[in-house]
Amino acid sequence: MTVHEESKSSRVQQMIHIMTTSGWRITEQRRKLAEIFTDANGYLSPKEVYDQMTIPYPSVSFDTVYRNLRLLSEMGALEQYYSMDGGLKFKSSCSTHHHHHLICLNCEKTLTFDYCPMQQSLNLPGSFKVVNHRFEVYGLCEECQAESITQ
């Protein structure tokens, strides 16, 4: 088994662990969902996931896929964001350490960075207590910037 295959297998197992600790029975379809997200380099729309799921499971409904995506997001196995152009999108959660994302507006490639602006002293109104947060920065990745220069 290559290092990439071990890493993929580990990420699939992490998602399956989250599912089982949330009381889910692990079916072949749910295992396939985990594999789809560990193979993806960025965010996927529900339609993209559905299209991949219908290859091995032609009778799966879009509603079933969408419901599973929402539940996986609620239990922390998936991260989600709302793209102005493409609507709701999902990717597997990064559970190894705390970090944030740079998201390319052109190709939707997602890069991680470890700097957390929440570690700065924030002057929040009232006695607001932060229990969780997400920080995403949108822009153009290096490849898309180079592409726009050559056009």
Separation in Å, CA 64 to CA 17, 56, 61, 100, 126: 20, 15, 5, 29, 41
Measured between alpha carbons, how far apart are the two ends of the chain, in Å? 42
Q: Distance (Å, rounded) from C-alpha 39 to C-alpha 11?
A: 10
> 62: which 2 tokens?
């879009």
Is the pLDDT reported for residue 111 higher than 50?
yes
Q: Domain limits of the chain?
A: 3-92, 100-150
CATH domain 100-150 topology: Dna Ligase; domain 1 (3.30.1490)
Write the pLDDT tens digit of every residue in 44-82.
999 999 999 999 999 999 999 999 999 998 888 888 877
Q: Domain 3-92 is in which class?
A: mainly alpha
Confidence of residue 117 (pLDDT cuts 50, 70, 90): confident
Fold: same for 3-92 and 100-150:
no
Q: What is the pLDDT of residue 3?
A: 43
pLDDT above 80 for 144 = yes
CA 39 to chain centre: 11
